[in-house]
Structures are given as C-alpha cells and as structure tokens.
Copies of this chain bind each other. A is one copy, B any other.
Amino acid sequence: MNKAEANGVIGKSVKRVDAFDKVTGRAKYTDDLCDRSAYVAKILHSTIANGRVLSIDCSEAENVPGVVKIVTCFDVPKNYFPTAGHPWSTDPAHQDVSDRLLLTDRVRFYGDEVAAVVAEDEVAAAQALRAIRVEYEEYPVVLDVQEAMKDGAPQLHEEYPNNILKHTSIRNGNYEEAIQEPGLIKVEGWYDTPTVQHCHIENFICYAEEDAGKMKVVTSTQIPHIVRRVVGQALGIPWGKVRVIKPYVGGGFGNKQDVLYEPLCAYLSIQLGGRLVKLDVSREETFVCNRVRHAIRSHIISYVRPDGTFAARKLECFSNQGAYASHGHSIAAKGMGAFPQLYPCPNVEADAYTVFTNRPVAGAMRGYGIPQAMFAVESHTDDVARAIGMSPLAFRQKNLMPKGYVDHFSKNELYQDTFQQCMEKGRCYIDYDRKVKEYADQKGGIRRGIGLAAFWYNTAVWPISLETSACRMVLNQDGSVQVQVGETEIGQGADTAFTQMAADTLGVTMDKVYVLSSQDTDVTPFGTGAYASRQTYTAGFAIHQTALLLKEKILNYAHELTRMPASILELENGVIRRKSDGRELLSLEELATEAIYSLTHSEHMTAESTYQTKSNAYSFGCTIAEVEVDIPACKVKLLDIVNVHDCGRLINPSLAEAQVHGGMSMGIGFGLSEGLKFDEKTGKVLNNSLLDYKLSTCMDHPDLEGEFVENYEPTSVYGTKGLGEPPVCSVAPAIRNAVLQATGVAIDELPLNPHKLFERFQENGLV
C-alpha cells in the first residue's frame, strides 16, 4: 500500500467538485459571462460546395437598421493559419497545415465562410445575412474519398495533387513473399464509416474584445493555450498579446480541440476598435461548419493459416478530410498505427491516405481515428474467424497483443495479460458462452446474436508530439490550496480527478483543494488542454511534482517553527506530524497563517513547475454486445452491452463509469443510427439538425455496463492512463459482429440503420 492509498483520496467515488454548481444552474458558461451589450456577429456561409466568390453586394445589408459592420472575404488579410489543437512545433516540418483564412473567396464546402456581419442584435444580424448577395463561379463537386483521388477529379488545394493531403505507409516483413506460403486462407473486406458530428450540448461560442492592451477572447474550447497561439498566428500579432479565457464548457469531444471562430471573432472586434463582439453558432452551423469525424474507408486483406495465426496482412485506408486540413493526416495515421499492433503479425503492408473532398472539415473526435479503425479491424477479425471456423473469442485470445509486447516507436509496453482479463470479465458479465451457443443456429424473423470487439488506445501524444503540463499551487491562510493547470474541465470531471490527486500528494483533505476550473492564458500555467485522453496521465505528473514541491516548502517552514528537521516530518490530512511517533505538531492552517503574517519570515507559499512527459501508455478494453434483429423490420435492438476497460488505477470509479457510459452511448449512435447525409450533387448536408440527425440517446439503448480491470500503470505517477476516448472505440464493431452472429450477414458500412439492413438483407435473401 503506498502513501496515496493511505490518504484514501485516490480511488474513491467522491462527488464531482462542480456538481453543485452544475445541477443548480449556477455554473458559468461562456454565454453567461458575456456582457449583454456585446455586438453580435454572424457568418454568411457559402451555398455552393466548390467554386469561387466573384462578387459580394452588401449595399442592401448595410442599410439594415442595427448593422454595425460587414466584412467579406475580399477584406480579410491573406494570412493563412492552422486550426488543429496540437501543441506547436518549432520545426516547420512538424507544424500543422496552414490553409485557413478568416473568410475565403475560394469556397471548398457547402457552408464555407464568405462574409460576416456584426450588428447590435441577433435579428439585425440575421436580416443582414439574408440581404447579402453573393455571385459565385461554381466548380464540380467531389464528396467520395476515392473519387477525389482520381485523375481529373475536382482539385481543392493546388498544392495537393489528386487531393491527397498525405500518404504514409508501414512495411513490416515481406508481405508479397509471405502470402506465397501454401495453405493460407485469404480474407478480404472493405469497411466504411460515416461522417458524424460530436453533438456536444453547448454549441461553440466565443466573444472577443480589446482589454488592457491585449486581445481578450473568452471561448468554449478544450485548448485555451493553443487558441492563444492560433489567434496570434491568424491575426499576425504576438502571441503574448492574446489572452484566452475558458469558462465551463458544455462538452467538446474533440470538436473544440480545433480553433473554430476565435480568430474571426477577434478580427471583427479589432475592426470595431476593440469593441466587444460575440459570435455563437447555431446547431445547424455546428453540424456543417465546425468539425466532423473523418469518414474512413478501409480495405483489409488477411492471409491466415488454418491454425488461426496470421501470415500476412494488408491495409489501405482512405480518410475523408473534407475541405481543409485541420488535424490532417494524424487521425488516419493513428488509426493505421493500431492495425499492426492490435494483432501483431510479422508481415504487414499498410497505407493511409488522407484526401480532401468537398465535405465539411473533418477534425478531432473522441477516439481520433480508432473507432473507424476498430470498426474495420474488428469487423474483419470476425470475418477471419468465421472464414477459418474459429470462434471470435478464441481467435482473439490467440492473436491479440500479448503480455510483454513493446511498441518500439512509442516504447509502450503491455505489462499484463490485459486483453484476456478484459475479455474474461466481459464474458462472465454477459454469459457469453451460453449465449453464443444458444444463438448459434436461429431461424425466423427475430434472431439474437452476440458480438465482441477489442480496442487499443494510447494515452497522450508523446512521442508524436510534445507532452508538457505545468501546474501551480497557492497556499491560503487556512491551509487550503488553489491548483491551476492548463488541462481543462470540459464536462468529463477532470477538475475532480485533479482535486483528488492534489489532495492525495500534498496531504490535505479534498475540501481544502480548489482546482481553478477556468483557464486564463495570462495566469494559468501552460498546458495544452483536453485531448488524447491525456488529462489525468499528463497533468497528473505536473500535479504530483508540484504538490511535492509545495509540501517540501511547507515542511521546511515547519522546521523553522518546530525546530525539527523537515526530513522527519510529514503532512497528512492537513496536519504536520512527526513520522516516528505520529505526534501532531501543528496544523497546516496554523502554519499557513503564520507563514503569511510572520514578522520574522513572511512567505506566501506557492509552488509551480513544468513536467514534460516522455512516456506513453496503452489503454485497453473490449465491448461485448447482445442484439435482437427484427429481420422483416430491418431493425437492430440492443439488448445488453458491456465495456471492459483497463485504464490503470481508477482515480474516481464513479466518474470513470460515467465516462464509459458516455462513450458507449456515442459508440452506439456510431454503430446504429448516426451519419450526415449529403446531396450528392450540391454537397449540401441534408440532416443538419437534431431532428433529422439520429443522435443516440438513453432512449435508444439498454442500461450500459462499464467494468474495469485495474492494472496499475507503472509509467504513470498515479497508476492511471487514458479513459476519455477509449469507451467509444469498440462499441460499433461489437454490435456489427452481434448482428453478424444473429443473421449471418456481415454489414461493413456504418451505421447499421434500417436502410442499410434492408439493402444487405435483400442481397442475402433474408427479406
């Protein structure tokens, strides 16, 4: 038992620190903080998906009462900037693609930004938008990723022939030689995932004004310190002249890991002499003009021996980037990276293409390529098992990444037999063996099936990119502390986990720790924000290191007061004790008050430090889903579903479970109902509302079961690793595999909605 466990804060399902404020409606989100006197900005979106703006006539719009300013694509500086929420790199070769302007005359998707109106109120702004006349030159539209790669396809960005933003490859062993082995069984499949949207409750909103010599931007973002940098880049001003403040955020799921309209809002404020300008977007704009998940088409060929081992494997994946680079190739690359690792095989060829099309811009979304990759890989795994007559479970038990596996790039290691443990737990929960047998040979219109899928997810971004987190702690007179980190609470409960960590390491009770939820880039230590399931892992290092520094200062001061050496003292639950006999010498409150007000040695005790993380950790898990398929109705009903996760030690089991539930729900939507629909001719999104877009809700699924295998992660200071994104990764393929078991039909395109089932059941003679 280590000290942390002795203090008893880590691993407890304590109440969320923001629970009271959030359930009472008192918590302040961006819109709550914006002064009502703010000007309102609205964006004019293009009504073509590909082409060029020839002219914009604002004369009528300018006469709308209340209109303050209209800016068009012809007014803004030609200052290209990137939008991805990645840590910056000083190496140009590793910088994100700079392909965005504040407004553009070269339109690349239906909804691109061509002008902006600032008005005294919403109504005037909306009226002015309607009064603007835009003349376009239209080009042909391409929406399909492979069509876009063809010679002669419409070109979105001159610098990228055949619209290929990037192509990367993996070559392990010798695929061509390996497939010559006699007796191999070839299994081949194409797997398609749709364009989906994050659907966080709080739409994007920001406001900007000049304040105290700076451009101040308050925004609903996951990445305040990155927004600061990008606003500086977009406006061509020093980054220190930008101040970004992040209030409570009503969900992000990766959409707010992109810089969205903060630069435009700041620009509009500058055009008005620094006046306060608010820019919030509607749900309809959120679906089309923010970011979406990459639709990825994967092609997998496996050569398998009859004993159930892989001889050689090949993957091609085509990632639909939409109109602009955003997170670019990193998502397809991450998805591809999962392929050779999940089922190690000596001979692998993999190629990932990220391709521009005239769809909405794809960016980060919970899982960052892995849900798409897992759909392909884990659907394919069932196809392979089926082809060689092995059970899906037995095939995985034989082939999944074994204990001791080390990835030589990330140095990630699988320290335990985690996959077996997770599958075993899920198998017990759902009574797998009995049901698989029971559902083996069904007839009739209503059939049941059970499906399994595994996943792998790495925590944080090292060594691909920088991982750094800084933390500051401030001791108050009453022995309580404020904790500041750049990692952000976006609804997931990060502040609560940070509170537990700080209390544990410092040696105070949780009620004495105040994590400052709102980041302010002027005062909050640098940290890159919420993404890559990095919060507890990365910020954990900084919190731990800083708490130890503060404790050292406290014990040194205790030495001055008690004349006992700091080395024989300990701080536990807010009390300074002598280690040897446990005697209570003084409370932290007494010490803290004396430290500030002492006439001999006054010191405001704080500690601050940066921790650069140079490790990474695998997070693992699996989903088992049980479905009932109504074949005549072409409907899938989810009967039961369990996710089992190894995300290391749980900081807060209740919060971890909630995180799993949320991810599972998102995975269910991905599997069964969600997907943007496009008018093939115009590229217009047809279902950009929560009425038409079939978001999965709690009405659509059974009780969700989240279970854990708590293998302490040895590289992690609190034994924990990523859990934010993992829960979404293996849900859809588990459902797909359950439908396969129930019906014998392998449906390789998401979502598994009635339209698709009808089509595939017809092909297979079921309806």
Contacts and interface: CB of A to CB of B under 8 A. Distances in A.
A522 to B, nearest CB: 5
A612 to B, nearest CB: 4
A604 interface: yes
Contacts of A87: 597
A596 B527 CA distance: 10
B604 A610 contact: yes
A516 interface: yes
Interface string A384-399: 0000000000000000
Interface stretch (A209-217, A313-321, A334-342): A209-217
B522 A514 contact: yes
Contact of A594 (B90, B468, B603): B90
A21 B214 CA distance: 11
Contacts of A468: 596, 602, 604
Complex copy number for this chain: 2
Contact of A18 (B90, B212, B516): B212
Contacts of A408: none
B597 A89 contact: yes
Interface stretch (A233-241, A345-353, A374-382): A233-241
Given A274-B26, A477-B229, A480-B238, A606 B525 contact: yes
A599 interface: yes
B474 A522 contact: yes
A307 interface: no
Contact of A612 (B17, B20, B36, B602): B602
A240 B476 contact: yes
Given A523-B474, A608-B608, A602 B211 contact: no
Size bin of chain A's contact surface = 35 or more
Contacts of A89: 597, 599
Best-surrounded residue of A21, A36, A214, A599 (most CB of chain B within 10 A): A599
A478 interface: yes
B523 A604 contact: no
Contacts of A599: 89, 466
Nearest to A248: B212
Interface in A561-599: 589, 593-594, 596-599
A229 B597 CA distance: 12
A479 interface: yes
A755 interface: no
A608 B472 CA distance: 10
A435 interface: no
Contacts of A36: 36
A167 interface: no
Task: Give the one of A470, A479, A526 with max B CB within 10 A.
Answer: A526
A28 interface: yes
Nearest 7 pairs between A and B by C-beta? A240-B476, A240-B480, A526-B604, A238-B478, A468-B602, A470-B604, A240-B478
Interface of A: 17-18, 20-21, 26, 28, 32, 35-36, 87-90, 209-214, 229, 232, 238-241, 274, 466, 468, 470, 472, 474, 476-482, 484, 512, 514, 516-517, 522-523, 525-526, 589, 593-594, 596-599, 601-604, 606, 608, 610, 612
24 contacts: A21-B212, A87-B597, A88-B597, A89-B599, A90-B593, A229-B477, A232-B478, A238-B478, A238-B480, A239-B477, A239-B478, A240-B479, A240-B480, A240-B481, A240-B512, A466-B602, A474-B522, A482-B523, A484-B523, A523-B523, A526-B604, A603-B610, A603-B612, A604-B610
